[in-house]
Amino acid sequence: MTLEILTADSLSALRHGFFTRKGGASSGIFQGLNCGTGSSDQTEIVAINRGRVAEAMEVAATHLVGVHQVHSPDVVTADTPLDPKPKADAVVTATPGLALSVLTADCMPVLFADSTAQVIGAAHAGWKGAQAGVLEATVEAMVALGADRAHIRAVIGPSISQRAYEVGPEFFESFVDSDPETARFFAGGTGDRMHFDLPGYGLARLRAAGIEEAEWTRHCTYSDPERFYSYRRSVHDRDPDYGRLIAAITL
């Protein structure tokens, strides 16, 4: 099966993509393009999937660069392949030939580019990382490499949508206590439950950081099992594990 790669017009000057689960070698609960080395999928099958992504990005498999994601605000600057992977949640570069990548399964995969300065970035942002400032930190790291904040474009890929992201009152309180303005990203649910708008929150953080051209592809990972992996859906379905989607960008 052919790979399905979602792209954004604002990043069209550079090779990039948000890969769906289509076109992969994994089977069972991981059916498709599972690129998560931390999953319980067969190591050799994950390597095949990642090899297909590297080929689509036109880089060597060793140059598909990622980090050991830990829901942090930490960013790594890469000018060579990262081995071993450092603990962080974003990576930036100004070095051609590296494809920066992040893995997600409901969290936001965010690709960044200043095509004029030839600086790119990729970030993994769940609610915890976004709240801690990983998006802003990625922008700052790109600026340190010569990017112009006014020229940086950012695209949030397939993520869990507000209608599928039900949270409890303690989650809501943790946001509003730190910033009352964040109440606007919550909508009422059943009883004391609420629904959190993760992509909307991410877009607001990006725009507050000076990124005027920021968008979400508007694909919900939870609601489309044929195309996307979802951690939350796997919990609801009582699956023992779940696949990871990959997003990548290269100069």
To which H or E segment does residue 235 belong?
Answer: helix 231-236
Residue 194's pLDDT is: 96
For residues 179-201, one letter each, b for 16 or more C-beta atoms within 10 angstroms of the residue's C-beta and e for the rest, the string is: eeebeebbeeeeeeebbbbbbeb
pLDDT tens across 5-55, in order? 999 999 999 999 999 999 999 999 999 999 999 999 999 999 999 999 999
**Cβ atoms within 10 Å of 32's Cβ, excluding its own:** 24
pLDDT tens across 213-246, in order? 999 999 999 999 999 999 999 999 999 999 999 9
Contacts 24+ apart (CB under 8 A), 229-238: 229/21, 229/32, 229/34, 229/105, 230/105, 230/106, 230/160, 231/105, 231/106, 232/106, 232/160, 232/164, 232/165, 234/29, 234/105
pLDDT > 70 in the chain, percent: 100
Q: Where are the domains of the chain?
A: 5-161+197-250
Confidence of residue 189 (pLDDT cuts 50, 70, 90): confident
Beta bridge partners of 248: 17, 101
Please tell me the CATH superfamily of domain 5-161+197-250, with its number: CNF1/YfiH-like putative cysteine hydrolases (3.60.140.10)
Q: Which two tokens stand for residue 77?
A: 């600057």
Residue in the structure block whose two tokens are 């993994």: 124
Provide the residue count of the chain. Answer: 251
Residue 188's pLDDT is: 85
